[in-house]
Amino acid sequence: MSARKLKILADENIPSTICTWLRGMRRIDLETVHDARLLSQSDLVLVNYAREHDRIILAGDKGFAEQSYEVCTHPGIINVSKFNNRPSSCKQKLSLVLSKARGFLGHNIIHLREDDFCVVKVRNEKEIHRYE
């Protein structure tokens, strides 16, 4: 990704503390589903909106996965469902991915996990990367 702002759409399952934190980052352009007036809409509606507005989805539930949304048919998905109830852990892992693995974001699906993150690419090829 270039040095331009990273455009993110946060689904309604992302804790407000994470959204507030992301809004404070100067290289992030965050829009929530509330901002976009998409509350309670289906995941497919969110993916279509993200595609139309070139936004990566920050997802807080397991519905946003490669089984549901084929890689390269959307700007990208970062799934933080494992950390939804632990905002400080979510911030830590997300911060590392946003700063050190930004190149993986475009059109892929990234699942944040405890010790590593999984990048799902074209043809569902998976790469595992450590946060360090």
More confident residue, 23 or 122: 23
* For residue 1, pLDDT beyond 50: no
Confidence of residue 35 (pLDDT cuts 50, 70, 90): very high
1 in any annotated domain: no
Q: Which residues of 33-52 are buried (b: 16+ CB within 10 A; e: fewer)?
A: beebebeeeebeebbebbee
89 in any annotated domain: yes
Which pLDDT value is given to residue 104?
81
- Domains held by the chain: number: 1
pTM: 0.86
121 in any annotated domain: yes
Which pLDDT value is given to residue 66?
58
Mean residue pLDDT of the chain comes to 85
Q: Strand 56-59 to strand 77-79: parallel, antiparallel, or no bridges (unpaired)?
A: parallel
* For residue 67, pLDDT beyond 60: no
Q: What is the domain range of residue 26? A: 6-130
